[in-house]
Chains A and B, each alone.
Chain A
Amino acid sequence: MKKLAGIVSILMLLLAVGCSSQSSSNAGETNENGEWSPTQPIEITAPAGPGGGWDTTARMVSQVFEQEEIIDQRLPVVNKAGGGGAIGWAYIAGKKESPYHLFVASPPLVLVPLNGQSEYDHEDFTPIANVIADYGAFVVKADAKWDNLNELFEDMKKDPASVSVIGTSSPGSMDHMQFVKIAKAAGVDVAKIKYLSDPDAGGLTAVLNGSVDVYTTGVAETIEQVKAGKIKVLGITSEERLEGEVLEDFPTAKEQGIDETFVNWRGFFGPKDMDPAAVKFYEEKFKELNESPAWDEIRKKYGWGELYMNSEEYSEFLKTEAESMKTLLDELGLAR
């Protein structure tokens, strides 16, 4: 009997922990002009653990909103890690119409559902505003035989299996797709590309010791190694050259005659069917944030590019983005 009591008490403890999540129902203030303003703290979800890109963006946005008093409420950041974002998205999807729940997102919000790993996709949320853009970079060892993207893709067109490519994320997600998108535009048979994934960020090591040929990653990650002369950047995925020391030397794929780009956009979303008045409120606040000197400083610190889109532009952008990714994934046989 005592044993049973012990087990029951453990279960009770588990239940107590499980039930501690609270829900909110306050819809906020809408004045006679139809203008909405928040009356309680706004929770920003980072659908990943502390320290990564989503988390940093969410925390910096929250910090600037609060410190510059752009929004007159606290904006606590919560981390909902797991499933490459799927856990966090499911959490927000459960906050129907709440104007007090935002989350930060980037291309995985489009790619993960297409890979069949999340039941929610970008259409299940309200796009509010995009704030920043990152770009991909394709990197080889400093003494590699290729000096530009065309030489690399020429070899890959002859024999796609002769070149190996490594990235952090799994096939069908960002690091892979940014390479595939550019390679396809150059005429490479993308289904035959040898792509390896190293979730522990061993991609750079693998290129430095010569076990893998090409490393597909974010632009900012390459600067230090380029400065040290250990690697060279064959091409980046932005429309035009970027600004800044070292960055400005990276050639775009476009200027090498490959007419394709890939944007690692990062912006904010709310639950589905958020009150249009609230969306309007946030849109304006994000615009104000985007133009503030404090935010400019943070962008420079982290090497993020500027890319503001309001809710409507954002929805349009996501639509075309999702379509082009779907086509590519179908060709790779990865769409589900």
Chain B
Amino acid sequence: MDAFQGLMSGFQVAFSLQGLLFVFIGVFVGTFIGMMPGLGPISAIAIMIPITYTMDPTVALVMMAGVYYGAIFGGSSSSILLNAPGVAGTVATSFDGYPMAQQGKAGKALAIAAIASFTGGTVSVILLMLFTPVLSAVAVSFGPAEYFALMFMGLTAIASLSDGSTIKAFISATLGFIVVTIGIDSQTGTSRFTFGNANLLEGIDFLVIALGLFALAEVCTLVLNRKDDSMNNNKDLGSLRISKQDLKEMSGPMTRQSFLGFIIGVLPGAGATIASFIAYITEKKIAKNPDEFGKGSVKGLAAPETANNAATSGAFVPLLSLGIPGSGTTAVLLGAFLVLGVQPGPLLIQDRPEIFWGIIASMYVGNIFLLVLNLPLIPYIAKVLRIPRPLLISLVIIFSLIGVYAISFNTFDLYLLVAFGVIGFLMRMFSFPPAPFILAFILGGMMEQALRQTLTISNGSFGIFLDKPIALTLIIVSVITMLVPLFTKKKKANVEKNIDESV
């Protein structure tokens, strides 16, 4: 069966009544669970697995895929409205989405996120359809050395994630690096900084950090400023309307990040999180007015939202064509495949073309459903902000606790969450940006592991990076992006100095 026929049979699956119904159920449940602060795609998929036990595998997997990208699609809501990212991929969304909502433009922010998600999702499905067989080679082209270089590039974002002091941003990142070393060291099996506490052996979960540093710290600020009326004027949700100007601004990031996000998503292990961070920094780097970023920039919101959805489709490349899960979420999704007796891998496209193409075809339909489902709901979702402040604060706290408790059903994590809430609050009071902390936390673990794997392979020699063209290129690009601002700053300073002198 050639690809075209395959795709046609896929559309037959997707457009059958059953197909349409279950794609709809999948994206509906996914987007709904994704919207809950603290619950992300992993919880959504885990909740749905038992339902699929007795279903036809094709239909079941079309639905599960819908749950997955639906959850990523909906995940932006809690980042934008409550500053409570439920999954690592939407942390970057909160950088500009939350300030925008604070400025009374919640409706617009959600609409931008929905359109960007739709674009990223749709463009990447086309790429997925055209290139999956070819890209499976790309997916395995990254060894530890290349991963290290990619993470290193991600780290250059630290400097650009600070609006104030760069030193404070680096201190914050250092804290993130310190925290991620807690737990069993994967390369030696030694436990580090666990103080004999078994609860710390597996390290601290991302959600604990994200909800602590972002959501709970925000809650503390709101509680302290409750008498300050200026914090309260965002009851105005703003209109949904996106001006032509906004659309024009969005189109650039959306086009670029659909491709970039997809390619990063194809690499197992990198995924939506790194795609969204890299999207954010590249757009900030090439923007004419980078100062707007972090203060409610349209581009700063559209870029990561496009990228994380594009990366989600990208993650299907290694999953479907190699049977390699690229992230915790796709690992659970792989489990869902296996439960249904379907083994994703190099043979899936030959043995079960209806499943392979059915999933891809259903993603077109699913993305349209998501857009149609989300846009009209925005006014209602945004009404969350109209909930009286004391009630909203309590709800955020409760949802954060539930989200964290649901990771491991362990109360110890709840104490950690509160502790990180306090740390986040203190960081805010002394204006240390939390974003570099979480970036370092996300990248640090993978980066350390990749570096040590690389050095084990090379028997300790750093020369290995010189032998790997991809790794070398990435490292050189990172170094250049770090050094260039230093020179331009100097130049600028010189120019200003000259002007001063001439005056």
- Could you list which residues of chain A lie within 8 angstroms of chain B, going by C-beta atoms? 3, 6, 10, 13-14, 17-18, 49-51, 78-84, 86-87, 90, 115-119, 161, 164, 166, 170-173, 194-202, 204-206, 208-212, 223-225, 227-228, 230, 301, 334
Whether a CB of chain A sits under 8 angstroms from the CB of B488 is no
Considering the complex, give the chain A residue whose CB is closest to the CB of B46. A50
With contacts A82-B198, A164-B457, A224-B323 known, is A211 near B144, CB below 8 A?
A: yes
**Given A170-B189, A200-B446, A201-B325, 14 new contacts (CB under 8 A):** A14-B401, A50-B46, A50-B332, A78-B409, A81-B409, A83-B199, A86-B201, A119-B198, A164-B456, A196-B453, A202-B324, A205-B142, A211-B457, A224-B346
The 8 closest A-B pairs by CB, nearest first: A211-B143, A228-B346, A224-B345, A83-B201, A51-B335, A170-B189, A208-B140, A18-B411
Hey, which chain A residues are within 8 Å of B185, CB to CB?
Answer: 170
Contact at A201–B331, with CB atoms within 8 Å?
yes
With contacts A82-B408, A83-B202 known, is A212 near B457, CB below 8 A?
A: yes
CA separation between A141 and B238, bound complex, in Å? 58
With contacts A200-B269, A205-B324 known, is A227 near B408, CB below 8 A?
A: no
For residues 392 through 412 of chain B, which have their beta carbon under 8 Å from a beta carbon of chain A? Answer: 397-398, 401, 405, 407-411
With contacts A171-B187, A210-B143 known, is A80 near B409, CB below 8 A?
A: yes
Whether a CB of chain A sits under 8 angstroms from the CB of B191 is yes
Whether a CB of chain A sits under 8 angstroms from the CB of B375 is no
For residues 160 through 194 of chain B, which have their beta carbon under 8 Å from a beta carbon of chain A? Answer: 184-189, 191
With contacts A194-B457, A196-B456 known, is A170 near B187, CB below 8 A?
A: yes
CA separation between A90 and B414, bound complex, in Å? 19
Residue among A79, A164, A202 making CB contact with B269, cutoff 8 Å? A202
CA separation between A18 and B412, bound complex, in Å? 9
Smallest CB separation, A230 vs chain B (Å): 6
With contacts A51-B335, A80-B409 known, is A171 near B189, CB below 8 A?
A: yes
Hey, which chain A residues are within 8 Å of B346, CB to CB?
Answer: 224-225, 227-228, 230
CA separation between A117 and B407, bound complex, in Å? 21
With contacts A170-B186, A196-B187, A224-B346 known, is A209 near B143, CB below 8 A?
A: yes
Hey, which chain B residues are within 8 Å of A171, CB to CB?
Answer: 187-189
CA separation between A318 and B15, bound complex, in Å? 55
Hey, which chain B residues are within 8 Å of A225, CB to CB?
Answer: 323, 345-346
Smallest CB separation, A256 vs chain B (Å): 26
Considering the complex, give the chain B residue whose CB is closest to the CB of A116. B191
Contact at B188–A81, with CB atoms within 8 Å?
no
Contact with A along B344-374 (1 / 0, CB 8 A): 1111000000000000000000000000000
For residues 276 through 330 of chain B, which have their beta carbon under 8 Å from a beta carbon of chain A? Answer: 318, 322-325, 327
Considering the complex, give the chain A residue whose CB is closest to the CB of B47. A50
Hey, which chain A residues are within 8 Å of B191, CB to CB?
Answer: 116-117
Contact at B198–A87, with CB atoms within 8 Å?
yes
Contact at A17–B414, with CB atoms within 8 Å?
yes
With contacts A90-B198, A170-B186 known, is A198 near B453, CB below 8 A?
A: yes
Whether a CB of chain A sits under 8 angstroms from the CB of B145 is yes
Smallest CB separation, B188 vs chain A (Å): 6
Smallest CB separation, A22 vs chain B (Å): 14
Contact at A49–B456, with CB atoms within 8 Å?
no
For residues 480 through 494 of chain B, which have their beta carbon under 8 Å from a beta carbon of chain A? Answer: none
CA separation between A10 and B223, bound complex, in Å? 13
Contact at A196–B457, with CB atoms within 8 Å?
yes
Interface centre among A18, A86, A209 (most CB of B within 10 A): A209
Smallest CB separation, B469 vs chain A (Å): 13
Whether a CB of chain A sits under 8 angstroms from the CB of B462 is no
Hey, which chain B residues are within 8 Å of A228, CB to CB?
Answer: 345-347
Contact at A194–B201, with CB atoms within 8 Å?
no
Listed by A's residue number, 19 A-B pairs whose Cβ atoms lie within 8 Å are: A6-B223, A17-B405, A51-B335, A81-B202, A83-B198, A83-B202, A87-B410, A115-B189, A117-B189, A118-B198, A164-B456, A195-B456, A197-B189, A208-B322, A209-B140, A212-B143, A225-B345, A227-B347, A301-B341
Residue among B184, B223, B332, B411 making CB contact with A117, cutoff 8 Å? B184
Considering the complex, give the chain B residue whose CB is closest to the CB of A176. B189
CA separation between A10 and B327, bound complex, in Å? 33
Hey, which chain B residues are within 8 Å of A6, CB to CB?
Answer: 223
CA separation between A268 and B456, bound complex, in Å? 37
CA separation between A116 and B188, bound complex, in Å? 13
For residues 178 through 235 of chain B, which have their beta carbon under 8 Å from a beta carbon of chain A? Answer: 184-189, 191, 198-199, 201-202, 223
Smallest CB separation, B246 vs chain A (Å): 38
CA separation between A6 and B220, bound complex, in Å? 10
Hey, which chain A residues are within 8 Å of B410, CB to CB?
Answer: 80-82, 87
CA separation between A179 and B154, bound complex, in Å? 35
Smallest CB separation, B420 vs chain A (Å): 14
Smallest CB separation, B184 vs chain A (Å): 6
Whether a CB of chain A sits under 8 angstroms from the CB of B418 is yes
CA separation between A202 and B454, bound complex, in Å? 13
Residue among A51, A205, A301 making CB contact with B140, cutoff 8 Å? A205
Contact at A51–B332, with CB atoms within 8 Å?
yes
Contact at A201–B324, with CB atoms within 8 Å?
yes
CA separation between A227 and B202, bound complex, in Å? 35
CA separation between A10 and B397, bound complex, in Å? 9
Contact at A224–B347, with CB atoms within 8 Å?
yes
Hey, which chain A residues are within 8 Å of B144, CB to CB?
Answer: 196, 206, 211
Considering the complex, give the chain A residue whose CB is closest to the CB of B453. A196
Smallest CB separation, A41 vs chain B (Å): 18
Contact at B401–A13, with CB atoms within 8 Å?
yes
Interface centre among A18, A118, A228 (most CB of B within 10 A): A228
CA separation between A17 and B145, bound complex, in Å? 44
Considering the complex, give the chain B residue whose CB is closest to the CB of A11. B418
Contact at A197–B325, with CB atoms within 8 Å?
no
Hey, which chain A residues are within 8 Å of B49, CB to CB?
Answer: 50-51
Considering the complex, give the chain B residue whose CB is closest to the CB of A207. B140
Whether a CB of chain A sits under 8 angstroms from the CB of B131 is no
Hey, which chain B residues are within 8 Å of A205, CB to CB?
Answer: 139-140, 142-143, 268, 318, 322, 324
Smallest CB separation, A66 vs chain B (Å): 14
Smallest CB separation, A303 vs chain B (Å): 10
Smallest CB separation, B112 vs chain A (Å): 32
Contact with A along B112-133 (1 / 0, CB 8 A): 0000000000000000000000
For residues 425 through 439 of chain B, which have their beta carbon under 8 Å from a beta carbon of chain A? Answer: none
With contacts A10-B397, A82-B201, A211-B145 known, is A51 near B187, CB below 8 A?
A: no
CA separation between A334 and B322, bound complex, in Å? 34
CA separation between A87 and B139, bound complex, in Å? 35
Contact at A84–B184, with CB atoms within 8 Å?
yes
Hey, which chain B residues are within 8 Å of A80, CB to CB?
Answer: 408-410
Considering the complex, give the chain A residue whose CB is closest to the CB of B348. A224
Hey, which chain A residues are within 8 Å of B268, CB to CB?
Answer: 200, 202, 205
Contact with A along B38-76 (1 / 0, CB 8 A): 000000001001000000000000000000000000000
